[in-house]
Chains A and B, each alone.
Chain A
Amino acid sequence: MNVNRAFKAAIALELITLATIVSGIIMLDSSQARAWRLFELLGANMASLITTFGVYKMRQMT
Chain B
Amino acid sequence: MVLGFSGTIPIALIGILSIILLVYGAEVVVSKMQAVAKSFGVSEVVIAMTIVAVGTSLPELALHVIGSFNILASSGAPLELFTVHLPDILLGSHLNATQELVKQGAINASTAANSTEVYRETAGAVLGANIGSDVVQQTLVLGLVIFSSALLANKHSFRFSRKFLIRDYAPMMGTTLITLILALNLEGVISFLTGGPLNVSGTITRFDGMVLVGSFFLYMIYLYTTRKEELAEQGDTEPSKRPKIDFVHGILAMALVLVSAEIFLRVVEVAVEQTGLSGSMIGVASVGIVSAFPEMITAISGLRHGSEGVSLGTLIGSNITNPLFAIGTGALISTYAVPRPLVLWDLPMETATAGVMLLYMFSKERIGNTLARPARKAGLNAVAEKLEETENRVISIAGALLLVLLYVVYIYVRFNYFQYDFA
Residues of chain A having any CB pair with chain B under 8 Å = 30, 33-34, 37, 39-44, 46-48, 50-52, 54-55, 58-59, 61-62
Q: Are B226 and A59 in contact (CB under 8 A)?
A: yes
By a CB distance below 8 angstroms, the chain A residues around B182 are: 43-44, 47
Tell me the smallest distance from the CB of B213 to a CB of chain A, in Å: 11
Bound complex: CA A37 to CA B205 (Å): 11
Q: Are B207 and A44 in contact (CB under 8 A)?
A: yes
Bound complex: CA A5 to CA B182 (Å): 27
A39-B186, A43-B184 are contacts. A61–B166 as well, Cβ < 8 Å? Answer: yes
Bound complex: CA A61 to CA B177 (Å): 20
Cβ contacts A to B, 14 pairs, < 8 Å: A33-B187, A39-B186, A41-B207, A44-B211, A47-B181, A47-B182, A47-B211, A50-B178, A51-B211, A51-B219, A52-B218, A54-B174, A55-B219, A62-B167
Bound complex: CA A36 to CA B92 (Å): 11
Number of B residues near A (Cβ < 8 Å) is 31
Is B170 at the interface (CB under 8 A from chain A)? yes
By a CB distance below 8 angstroms, the chain B residues around A37 are: 87, 91-92
Bound complex: CA A48 to CA B219 (Å): 12
| Interface members, chain B 156-184 (any A CB < 8 Å) | 163, 166-167, 170-171, 174, 177-178, 181-182, 184
| Interface members, chain B 90-112 (any A CB < 8 Å) | 91-92
Bound complex: CA A5 to CA B34 (Å): 37
Among B177, B186, B227, the one with the most A-chain Cβ atoms within 10 Å of its Cβ is: B186
Tell me the smallest distance from the CB of A21 to a CB of chain B, in Å: 10
Bound complex: CA A39 to CA B199 (Å): 14
Bound complex: CA A46 to CA B184 (Å): 12
By a CB distance below 8 angstroms, the chain B residues around A42 are: 186
Choose among A43, A52, A58 the residue that contacts B166 (Cβ–Cβ < 8 A): A58
Bound complex: CA A62 to CA B218 (Å): 16
Among A34, A42, A43, A55, the one with the most B-chain Cβ atoms within 10 Å of its Cβ is: A43
By a CB distance below 8 angstroms, the chain A residues around B205 are: 40, 44
Contacts A41-B91, A47-B182, A47-B208 known; 13 new A-B pairs at CB < 8 A = A30-B187, A37-B92, A40-B208, A41-B207, A43-B202, A50-B174, A51-B211, A54-B174, A55-B219, A55-B222, A58-B171, A61-B166, A62-B226
Tell me the smallest distance from the CB of A13 to a CB of chain B, in Å: 14
By a CB distance below 8 angstroms, the chain A residues around B87 are: 37
By a CB distance below 8 angstroms, the chain B residues around A51 are: 174, 178, 211, 214-215, 218-219
By a CB distance below 8 angstroms, the chain A residues around B39 are: none
Tell me the smallest distance from the CB of A27 to a CB of chain B, in Å: 15
Tell me the smallest distance from the CB of B166 to a CB of chain A, in Å: 5
Beta-carbon contacts of B130-169 to A below 8 Å, as 1s and 0s?
0000000000000000000000000000000001001100
By a CB distance below 8 angstroms, the chain B residues around A59 are: 222, 226
Q: Are A43 and B186 in contact (CB under 8 A)?
A: yes
Is B369 at the interface (CB under 8 A from chain A)? no
**Chain A to chain B: the 7 pairs with minimum beta-carbon distance, closest first:** A47-B178, A51-B215, A39-B187, A37-B91, A40-B91, A39-B186, A54-B174
By a CB distance below 8 angstroms, the chain B residues around A52 are: 218
Q: Are A50 and B177 in contact (CB under 8 A)?
A: yes
Bound complex: CA A44 to CA B91 (Å): 10
Bound complex: CA A30 to CA B177 (Å): 26
Tell me the smallest distance from the CB of B127 to a CB of chain A, in Å: 16
Bound complex: CA A62 to CA B215 (Å): 19
Q: Are A47 and B215 in contact (CB under 8 A)?
A: yes
Bound complex: CA A35 to CA B219 (Å): 33
Among B92, B202, B205, B211, the one with the most A-chain Cβ atoms within 10 Å of its Cβ is: B211
Residue of A nearest to B215 (CB): A51
By a CB distance below 8 angstroms, the chain B residues around A54 are: 170-171, 174
Is B31 at the interface (CB under 8 A from chain A)? no
Q: Are A44 and B208 in contact (CB under 8 A)?
A: yes
Bound complex: CA A4 to CA B186 (Å): 31
Beta-carbon contacts of B312-345 to A below 8 Å, as 1s and 0s?
0000000000000000000000000000000000
Bound complex: CA A50 to CA B186 (Å): 16
Is B298 at the interface (CB under 8 A from chain A)? no
Tell me the smallest distance from the CB of B100 to a CB of chain A, in Å: 14
Tell me the smallest distance from the CB of A46 to a CB of chain B, in Å: 5
Tell me the smallest distance from the CB of A5 to a CB of chain B, in Å: 16
Bound complex: CA A40 to CA B171 (Å): 23
By a CB distance below 8 angstroms, the chain A residues around B163 are: 62
Is B185 at the interface (CB under 8 A from chain A)? yes
